[in-house]
Amino acid sequence: MMHPTTAHEIEIATDDAVSRLLSPGGERLPDPTLDPFVADVGADLLREMYRDMHIVRRIDTEGVALQRQGQLGLWAPCLGQEAAQVGTARALERADFVFPSYREHGVAYVRGAPPVEFVRMWRAEENSSYDPRDLRMAPPQIIIGAQTLHAVGYAMGIQHDALTGRAADEIAVTYFGDGASSQGDVNEAMVFAASFGAPVVFVCQNNHYAISEPVAVQTTHPIAGRAVGFGIPSLRVDGNDALACLAALRWARAHARAGRGPAFIEAVTYRMGPHTTADDPTRYRDAAEVEAWRRRDPIARLEAHLRMLGAFDDAFAADVVAEADRFAAEMRSAAIGYASREPITVLDEVYAEPHSGLARQRAHFSAYLDGFADEEAPR
């Protein structure tokens, strides 16, 4: 059992030394730190979380298929990380603002992203992301770790608003992976967050691989312990346990909203698929490792728990599958039917006034595009 660490203590642990509320077989486990934060959680919410996770997996499957069929330029799978994303996202309030990386499809779904928003960016279309104001979620960040700085800056803005009498019941929360935890941006973000007591929650999804580098190459200690070095309390939870992830984010949010500064969560999970669809994970990990983690499947774990509660039956399962298929069908339709702008328009509205340098670029790009024009076949 692992309790929140402070600046004066750190527990060095293996992957199994995590806080959890559901065993891999679905049994409910006690945890004095997490239990108070899920005392109100019943079968209804657990069923909704299961529904979310199943749909997110279906979104992920469809995204990979669309990329393989040439409809998307790239896709970053989140297969295996559904509990870490849905569990934490379900703990957020609507006013909270999220700063994700490029893999948080589950968070975007919980925040209300419609099907088209899961394909527009990966097609590189105009305005290729959702409206951040609608979802209270920044556009996906491709630069590794940069979103943590944005989150801390936003959280410091929340503090400023409080000083000017415009306080709101909100926090900032940022998601990143174990690889990003070694980036300078993430560490600088934690320095500022701790120094100024910013109401921000750092969520590290430790999926064991920074592209091809295993987490053991980055650290021999739990990543949650890094936060302690900055004076930030942390929790290390089973990232394949949706209930534990819900409780952990509720704990972190309560800490931040109470004016006690930032909090850090390490959700220990596993990336079952490739880093992106441009990656071949068989080159750097073996099948036995993947199979071992497959037996810890987060969706199967929550299903097992619901069956123990008598809250899962064939009718519910069929309804969830049908809803997931409908969402995926709308995703596919949005991708295939998307009316892309002409490539040359990428140079429109770059400057308010005509610009000679831009005119030369336009002429060069136009000539390049003309090289792809179909020539009339000889007769």
Summarised one tens digit per residue, pLDDT across range 241-254 is 999 999 999 999 99
Q: If you average pLDDT over residues 185-206, what whole number do you get?
A: 98
Q: Is the pLDDT of residue 329 over 50?
A: yes
Looking at 173-187, 265-279, 337-351, which range is the least confident one? Answer: 337-351
SS3 211: coil
Provide the pairing of β-strand 200-206 with 209-210.
unpaired
Cβ atoms of residues 335 and 71 within 8 Å: yes
Q: Which CATH class is domain 35-336?
A: alpha beta
Distance of CA 284 to the CA centre of its chain: 23
Q: Is the pLDDT of residue 378 over 70?
A: no
247-301 pLDDT, tens digit per residue, is: 999 999 999 999 999 999 999 999 999 999 999 999 999 999 999 999 999 999 9
66-114 pLDDT, tens digit per residue, is: 999 999 999 999 999 999 999 999 999 999 999 999 999 999 999 999 9
Instruction: Write down the domain spans for the chain.
Output: 35-336, 343-379
Q: Is the pLDDT of residue 7 over 80?
A: no
pLDDT recorded at residue 3 = 55
DSSP string of 217-242, one letter each residue: HH-SS-THHHHHHTT--EEEEETT-H
pTM above 0.95, yes or no: no
Catalytic residues: 271, 275, 284
| Residue 162: pLDDT band with limits 50, 70, 90 | confident
Q: Is the pLDDT of residue 116 over 90?
A: yes
| Residue 12: pLDDT band with limits 50, 70, 90 | very low
How far is it, in rounded angstroms, from Cα 146 to Cα 151?
A: 9
SS3 324: helix
β-sheet bridge partners, residue 144:
none
List all residues 6 or more positions away from 340 whose beta carbon is below 8 Å from its beta carbon.
Answer: 123, 125
